[in-house]
Structure 1
Amino acid sequence: MKMIKLEPGLKYDGSQIKPMWAFQNFGVKGSSIVNWIGPMDIKSDELVDYEDMGLEIKSDEMIHFIVEHFDVQPADMRLCYHRQRILVMIVQDLLDEIGIKTHRKGDDLYCDDGKLTVSVASCSVSSMKIHFAMNLTTTGTPKNVKTTGLLECSGELDMDMISKLPDKVSKTYIDEIEDIEEDIAKTRVF
């Protein structure tokens, strides 16, 4: 599985959840996790989650992750959601290590009562996709949702720490997936 870090500034608009995005835009073949810091503004025609129809989903600055897996054919929605939860739990553990206490509800993390993250999982014929993102601040988030940002959850967090977090999350996720594959390969079956 490959890890790609993009320069800051790319706006997540929902099109990145489409299959083969990393390959079409960056020449990345195979399973990957792409991370970057940038805004988000999803138009209604790019929404994947039916529960989100009609909602504003936006933020001025977030840490984004796009995960794509090609290892199961045909793609498996249940497995994709399991992997999404693994990613969320990895983020929760790493945030805890730097002093940010969160609680999880499904695939979302909350700091106190503020929603810190957004996430969606989806499948195409050829791949499983996950988008996961964390607000850096509440600037530009919808007024009708109580949100929070990483910088508001911890007064000790600085941009240097924030810039290292996406790579640590990505590497930990890759290690977890590879560890599972190694466990499968060493397990006796009947």
Structure 2
Amino acid sequence: MADTKISKVCVITSETLGKHQWKPEVVTVQGTDFIKLHRWSRDLTRYVTGRALDLRKGKGHCLSGDYMEHLVTERNKNSREAYQEAMRSTQEGEEPPQPSRRRTVRQSDSAVAPAVVSIRMPAADWHPEREVQCLWSVKSPHLWLEMSEDIMVHLKAGIMQGIPEHERNAKKRKPSRAEPLPEAEGDASESGTQS
């Protein structure tokens, strides 16, 4: 009987994914589903841009904008504050000891801190700034973000704002045969009269 495993699977479909389906890692904490996001995720890149992650030299197609970095930084800051608040509330009855030096918050402190913290998602396109929940963490580059359709659409719009225009197009357009190829500047003057 030990070979039986039950898991809950989430499948995300989108126009940008085409025929592919994204099956992200999802956990449920305090009744809320959280999706694991990372800027180097092949599936997240395909969901946002319509093209797969490409790390070959000269290609450079990844989610290198500041939006994800901002969300991770905001999560880290709010996680540290939540830990400090939890430490203050546990020491409320007694006078807090004066530390000889300031101690940095570590990932191992998650037992004391709350499991979920709130962060502000910056405005993107027509989406106003909003508050969302994510799992507590202070070091991980992975972001466990509250999962819902409107949050995913907001995230996609925010990441797309940070991607350069030439990388936004999901498919490279090939010139049609009916369109003439553009001539170089020197070709037009040389093809005239020769002496």
Q: Say whether the fold is shared (TM-score over 0.5).
A: no
Q: TM-score, normalised by structure 1?
A: 0.30
**Which structure has more strand as a fraction of its residues?**
1
Q: Which has the larger radius of gyration?
A: 2
